[in-house]
Structure 1
Amino acid sequence: MNVAVVTVGDELLAGQTTNTNATWLCERLAERGVDVERVTTVPDRIGDIARVVNEYRAEYDAVIVTGGVGPTHDDVTMDGVAAALGRSLEEHETALAWLEEEGYSRSDLTEGTADLPAGARPLHNEVGVAPGAALEGVYVLPGVPAEMRAMFASIEPEFSGTETYREVVVADEPESALLDRIAALREQFDVSVGSYPGDSVRIALESTDETTVTEAASWLRERVETPAN
């Protein structure tokens, strides 16, 4: 299963808010064996949201959109998703009924709180108020991290793939000096390799076969200089 993550918010693009939602979602999806192939941040503009969602839903098995959910003037994500899917926004009775069960009077709710794309499945907000939505492989979640995480937990079983195993080998050598050994590793073992330089070089090995990853990591550790403890 492959997925695209779209985060919505002018504050993300301005650097005023750290995009922890994207990182958290990528980690959780990877744990479930799902390939995240795009992470995109767009402003609070209906046209931008609609364009990106429409493009990604044609390319990936699912699109997860976070942020801009609610009844305030800059909460336009539901409008953008509705436009991408060619749907109108409608007040969702099931979502309203759930909110009433939680103690919210319809008359006290801000207008638009339960407006979702027509035909969408509401995703109840266990932590906040504004519901999310799921429709045609597009999942719309709130931007508040606690609300997003709780809502994702309710749909997490819908995301699955092949489990991937990972080991990291740390080399106390220049990255350029490791190229021949990395090439030999890739020839001998069916693993994907990522090389991440810093004070030392972190070499990440991944495979769907746990034994292969373990053997590849052992092989490499025997052939690189490791940092002194």
Structure 2
Amino acid sequence: MNAAVVTVGDELLAGRTANTNATWLCERLVERGVDIERVTTIPDRVSDIARVVNEYRAAYDAVVVTGGLGPTHDDVTMDGVAAALGRSLTAHDAARTWLEENGYSHAELADGTAELPAGARALHNDVGVAPGAVLENVYVLPGVPEEMKAMFETVASEFNGEPTHRLVVVADEPESALLDRIAKLRQQFDVSVGSYPGDGVRISIEGTDERTVAEAAAWLRERVESA
């Protein structure tokens, strides 16, 4: 299973808010064996949301969108997602009923709070108010981190893939000096390899077979200088 993560918000693009949602979602999805192919941040603009969601829903098994839910003027994510799938926004009976059953009267709710794209499955917000939604392979979650995390857990079981195993070998050598050994490692073992300079060079070895990853890491440790 592969997926794209889309975070929506002008404040993210301006650097006023750290994009912790993207990091958290990627970690949780990878834990479940999902390959993350794209992480994209876009503004609170209906046309951009519609374009990106429409492109990604055709290219990936799942698209997870977070941010821009609610009744205020810049909460336009549902509009964009609806446009991407050719749906209209309508009052969602299940979302409205859930809100009323949880203490929110119709008079208290701002206009549009319970509106979702036609045919969507409502995702109830146990931490906040604005509901999320699932439409085909598109999952729409709130931007408030606590709300997003709680809502994701209600659909986490719908994201599954082959788990990836990962080990890291730290080499006390210049990265350029390791190129030949990394090339041999990739030739001999069915793993993916990444190298990250810093305090030493961190060489990440990943694969779907735990034993192969362990053997590859052991092979490399014997051939590099360590601190």
**TM-score exceeds 0.5:** yes
Structure 1 residue 212 corresponds to structure 2 residue 225: no
Q: Which residue of 2 aligns with 1:170?
A: 170
User: For residue 207 of structure 2, what is the amino acid of its counterpart?
Assistant: S
* Counterparts of 1:192 and 1:40, CA distance in 2: 23
Q: Which residue of 2 aligns with 1:184?
A: 184
Percent identity among equivalent residues? 78
Structure 1 residue 30 corresponds to structure 2 residue 56: no
* Counterparts of 2:193 and 2:131, CA distance in 1: 40
Q: Which residue of 1 aligns with 2:57?
A: 57
* Counterparts of 1:57 and 1:202, CA distance in 2: 34
User: For residue 182 of structure 1, what is the amino acid of its counterpart?
Assistant: I
Q: What SS class does the counterpart of residue 202 from structure 1 fall into?
A: strand
Q: Which residue of 2 aligns with 1:156?
A: 156
Q: Which residue of 2 aligns with 1:86?
A: 86
Shift of 1:205: 0.3
Q: Which residue of 2 aligns with 1:7?
A: 7
Q: Which residue of 2 aligns with 1:133?
A: 133
* Counterparts of 1:200 and 1:45, CA distance in 2: 43
* Counterparts of 1:218 and 1:50, CA distance in 2: 47
Where structure 1 has 5 or more consecutive residues not aligned to the other structure, the ranges are none
* Counterparts of 2:127 and 2:200, CA distance in 1: 42
Q: What SS class does the counterpart of residue 205 from structure 1 fall into?
A: strand
Deviations 1:74-119 (A, max 9, x none): 0000000000000000011110100111111011000010110000
Q: What SS class does the counterpart of residue 3 from structure 1 fall into?
A: strand
Q: What is the TM-score of this pair, normalised by structure 2? A: 0.99
How many equivalent pairs are there?
227
Q: Which residue of 1 aligns with 2:107?
A: 107
Q: Which residue of 2 aligns with 1:17?
A: 17
* Counterparts of 1:106 and 1:197, CA distance in 2: 56
Matching of residues 32-51 of structure 1 within 5 Å: 32-51=32-51
Q: What is the TM-score of this pair, normalised by structure 1? A: 0.98
Shift of 1:199: 2.1
User: For residue 46 of structure 2, what is the amino acid of its counterpart?
Assistant: I
Q: Which residue of 1 aligns with 2:67?
A: 67
Q: What SS class does the counterpart of residue 181 from structure 2 fall into?
A: helix
